[in-house]
Each structure stands twice: as C-alpha cells, then as structure tokens.
C-alpha cells in the first residue's frame, strides 16, 4: 500500500459538537427489515424483537441515535447494536471544503439497556470525504463503535508521553481478524505518525474493493460505497467502524419500494476478543419505511472472549 493510505484527522477540539436532545430510551417494537431475520435463533423462536433507543442528537434536519435489538424473552442477549438516522438527518447536512476541518463529530450515548461491550458511538459526517482523497474523498459517514470509555478516547493525544508506545502496541495475533492490516504497515510509517488523535490506529480489510487498485489488483477495484474498518490503541482493538457514503445509504430508501432495502455484509472474526462480550459477524445497512429510519448495525452478534 502506498504511503497515501492515511486517515489523519484533527483533534476533537477543532470540531463542533451538536446539541443533545431529550433522552429517548423507551423500548419500541422493531419494524421493517431489521426487525426480522436478525438471527436464525430469533426467527426459529418467533419471539418479538424490541428496539431500545439511546439519546438522540440533532443531525442535519433530523436526528441520530443508537439502538440495541433484543427479544422480549431474553433482555441479556443482544441481536444487533447500531445507529438509526431519521430521514431528515440525510438532508441539511453541513457542506465543506476538502479536508477534515469540515468533519462534524457527534458522540452518541448507548441505550440504558445495553448488553453489549460497546460503550458509545462516535458518528462523523465527512462532507468532502477524507484522505486518501482518491479512495475516500466522497461525502460519507463514519460509525465508530467504541469498547473503551469516552475518557480513554479523549486521552489518545500526541502530548501523552506514552503516545508512541501505545500506538505501536498491537493486539496479539489471536485477537486480530483475518485479512486485516494496519495503517503503519501499509504506509511504512511509524505507528505514532499514522495514529489518529482521539481515535486510534486504523486497520483495513485487504479484500475491500476500494483498496484493490492501490493493492495492485486493479481488476478487483470498485469505488468506495461502504467498508468496515477497525481501530487499535495500547494493545487492543477499541472500535469497529462501518464507513458508508451518503449516496449509498440513500439507495436503501429507494430500493425499499422494491423490498430490497436490507443488506447484511459479513466481516472476518477473531479467535478471541477483549473485553469479552457480543461481537458482530456482519454489519447491516437498511431502511425501515415504518420508522422512516436508516439503520446501520453490527449484527449476527456472537459471544466472544
């Protein structure tokens, strides 16, 4: 991978945060594509699936909020964890010039009922994409599902005396999913130089279509629409990140009229996880016409340790 594969972003202090709205954690019956077919086990039991929401934040002309899917009979076993974007959230989004100065960051609280290892979600709107522009330079959303606290994320700064050491501390092989490689290996740069402040070191799936030209396989190249990235810090993976273009999300609403608004994309899984908990075997991108929401979820959750 050439040294242009770099996802550097500014410190969070340069980004504005949107105002929290009133809390909304009441359970709601899950409808639409994400309600059915979440797991084979749920289908077999034919149990009602409930979507619990987190606190919404204003995004564009609408809202964004986290959710957790559970069955009515088993509140401790999550089926899916994700972010729901209202229809209005896709309109009125801030525009911007190329570069991360235009990136909008929201930190989304998890629902009160949250039997997953994820502690919050960082939702980024990139109106002009980000580096490398030839690959990711289109308007898109980043959905970082963090397994560490907000305080730990905020502490990932170059002024930390341990920054270089923690950036270069990689998870043991049994915690790494197959096909993934880190930005330092890709660029030949030291890990501290490509670790994003208040975020972490990014890892990429070598099979991602948008990377194939850069990896010497131009025949396998397809423009970026969605991809799944992971992040590390101080010896462990700390976030899972679906990254999805606005244009591709919008196709889900259009295709829903043809009953094809739901897509589940498998992801590689590791032998072990830390902390122990429920981790995805896939991620889901869907549109729920009844709730009028776009759903971006980590799904097919399976217990890992």
Phi-psi group of 90: left, alpha or beta (phi > 0 → left; psi -120 to 50 → alpha; rest → beta): alpha
Residues 48 and 180: their CA atoms lie apart, in Å, by 36
pLDDT tens for each residue of 32-75: 555 444 444 444 456 789 999 999 999 999 999 999 999 988 99
Confidence at 22, pLDDT banded by 50, 70, 90: very low
Question: How high is the pLDDT of residue 240?
Answer: 98
Query: Using the 8-state DSSP alphabet, how is residue 91 labeled?
Result: S
Question: How high is the pLDDT of residue 21?
Answer: 27
> Stretch 3-18: mean pLDDT, rounded?
31
Question: How high is the pLDDT of residue 27?
Answer: 62
For the ranges 4-8, 9-13, 217-221, the lowest mean pLDDT is seen at: 9-13
Bigger pLDDT: 100 vs 167:
167
Query: Per-residue DSSP letters for 223-244?
Result: --SEEEEEEEETTEEEEEEEEE
Contact 174, 270 (CB under 8 A): yes
Helices (H) and strands (E) in the chain, counts: 7, 17
Residues 179 and 11: their CA atoms lie apart, in Å, by 29
Average pLDDT, the chain: 86
pLDDT tens for each residue of 219-276: 999 999 999 999 999 999 999 999 999 999 999 987 655 545 689 999 999 999 999 9
> Stretch 4-8: mean pLDDT, rounded?
37
pLDDT tens for each residue of 277-290: 999 999 999 999 99
Residues 231 and 196: their CA atoms lie apart, in Å, by 10
pTM assigned to the model: 0.86
H or E element that contains 187: helix 183-187
Confidence at 183, pLDDT banded by 50, 70, 90: very high
Phi-psi group of 103: left, alpha or beta (phi > 0 → left; psi -120 to 50 → alpha; rest → beta): beta
H or E element that contains 14: none
> Stretch 212-221: mean pLDDT, rounded?
94
């Amino acid at each position: 991978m050439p040294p242009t594969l770099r996802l550097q972003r500014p410190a969070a202090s340069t980004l504005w945060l949107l105002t929290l709205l009133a809390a909304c954690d009441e359970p709601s019956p899950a409808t639409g594509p994400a309600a059915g077919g979440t797991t084979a086990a749920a289908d077999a039991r034919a149990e009602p699936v409930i979507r619990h929401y987190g606190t919404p934040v204003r995004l564009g002309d609408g809202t964004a909020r986290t959710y957790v899917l559970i069955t009515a009979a088993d509140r401790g076993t999550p089926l899916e964890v994700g972010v729901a974007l209202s229809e209005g959230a896709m309109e009125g989004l801030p525009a911007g010039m190329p570069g991360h100065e235009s990136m909008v960051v929201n930190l989304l609280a998890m629902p009160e009922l949250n039997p997953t290892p994820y502690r919050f979600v960082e939702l980024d709107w990139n109106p002009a994409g980000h580096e490398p522009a030839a690959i990711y330079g289109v308007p898109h959303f980043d959905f970082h599902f963090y397994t560490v606290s907000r305080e730990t994320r905020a502490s990932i700064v170059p002024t930390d005396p341990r920054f270089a050491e923690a950036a270069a501390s990689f998870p043991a092989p049994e915690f790494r999913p197959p096909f993934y490689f880190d930005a330092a290996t890709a660029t030949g740069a030291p890990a501290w130089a490509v670790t994003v402040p208040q975020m972490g070191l990014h890892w990429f799936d070598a099979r991602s279509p948008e990377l194939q030209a850069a990896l010497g396989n131009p025949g396998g190249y397809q423009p970026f629409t969605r991809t799944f990235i992971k992040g590390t810090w101080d010896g462990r993976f700390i976030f899972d990140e679906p990254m999805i273009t606005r244009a591709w999300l919008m196709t889900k609403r259009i295709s829903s009229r043809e009953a094809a608004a739901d897509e589940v994309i498998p992801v590689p899984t590791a032998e072990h996880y830390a902390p122990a908990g429920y981790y995805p075997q896939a991620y889901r991108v869907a549109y729920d016409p009844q709730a009028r929401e776009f759903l971006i979820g980590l799904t097919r959750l399976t217990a890992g340790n």
